[in-house]
Structure 1
Amino acid sequence: MGKKQTARNQLDDEFEITGDQTYARSLGPRGNHQHEVELLDGSKTLVTLPPKFRNVVWLKRGHYVIVDPTVGITEKVGGEIAFVLFPKNIKDLKAAGKWPAQFSEAAPAVSDHEEESDDDLFVNNNRPIMSSDDESSEEED
């Protein structure tokens, strides 16, 4: 039997960019296991997510991947995702000086200890909003 593929296994795998492979940033899923990505030169293309990553890794807008433009080329698809980069991988690449400058500028520095502001919280519009001002005016009466 084969080894069950998990995100942790994929995170522990060593990777190396070879040949025509390049870094890319995901711009979002487009359906049928296809994702639109922005390459280092700023061009946008459609790439496929290979079966070994399906139902294992959830690729969202803003995630970074390594794209192989020589595999799976069709009229609409410009390549295949060779590796999904996790934050640990990106940190290691930055420490080694291999992370591309194009993505370093665009990525905002996020601290692990930043507190969320109230503006970032989800607001449920299906529930009435109870403010503290209404409660204090009822107590005065």
Structure 2
Amino acid sequence: MGKKQTARNQLDDDFEIEGNQTYARSLGPRGNHQHEVEFIDGSKKLVTLPPKFRNVVWLKRGHYVIVDPSVGVTEKVGGEIVFVLFPKNIKDLKAAGKWPAEFSEPAPAVTTQEEEEQSDDDLFVNNNRPIMSDTESESSDEE
């Protein structure tokens, strides 16, 4: 069975939340197949991505997952990802009324201090050219 067929099976699988499994939003990878996630109640924990998902699904910041906090618990790790939710799955959950209201609003944008200082409207400044101000260019036109 190839990777594409495995990914297709993952996408088509039906799932149900069992026991103490809960929804979580990925805050990003932290290395060694571990991801930091935010749960419905706002708590953040480190969880592992099991080997069956590692080469099939790419989990990025803002993706939603189902986490089982009772599996793979160690001193640093607080659970294991049981299922990765695709947009189709989230749409089905919202239609069924099972999607948590806490995740209905969009994920908060993670910005760094540099991004806040520099907006997208700023133009690139080429330091290899002399900078001419508007007053200099007007005075050279008048002469």
Give the TM-score taking structure 1 as reference length. 0.73
CA RMSD of aligned residues (A): 2.4
Q: Which residue of 1 aligns with 2:36?
A: 36
Alignment of 1:97-136 (within 5 A): 97-107=97-107
How far the C-alpha of 1:107 sits from its partner, in A, is 4.7
Q: Which residue of 2 aligns with 1:14?
A: 14
Asked if 1:87 corresponds to 2:123, the answer is: no
Asked if 1:25 corresponds to 2:25, the answer is: yes
Task: Note the residue ranges of structure 2 that are not aligned, 5 or more in a row.
Answer: 109-119, 126-143
Task: Note the residue ranges of structure 1 that are not aligned, 5 or more in a row.
Answer: 109-118, 126-141
Q: Which residue of 1 aligns with 2:115?
A: none
| Paired amino acid for 1:49 | L
Alignment of 1:59-98 (within 5 A): 59-98=59-98
How far the C-alpha of 1:68 sits from its partner, in A, is 0.2
Alignment length (residue pairs):
113
Q: Deviations over 1:83-130 (max 9, x none)?
A: 00000000000000000000002359xxxxxxxxxx59xx999xxxxx
| Paired amino acid for 1:29 | P
Question: Matches of 1:64 and 1:57 in 2, distance apart?
Answer: 12
Query: Any runs of at least 4 consecutive aligned residues in structure 1 with deviations exceeding 3 A, and if so which?
Result: none
Q: 1:124 to 1:95 in 2, by over 3 A?
A: farther
Question: Matches of 1:90 and 1:66 in 2, distance apart?
Answer: 11
Q: Which residue of 2 aligns with 1:136?
A: none
Question: Matches of 2:25 and 2:60 in 1, distance apart?
Answer: 10
Give the TM-score taking structure 2 as reference length. 0.72
How far the C-alpha of 1:8 sits from its partner, in A, is 1.4
Question: Matches of 2:51 and 2:94 in 1, distance apart?
Answer: 29
Percent identity, aligned pairs only, is 85
Question: Matches of 1:10 and 1:66 in 2, distance apart?
Answer: 13
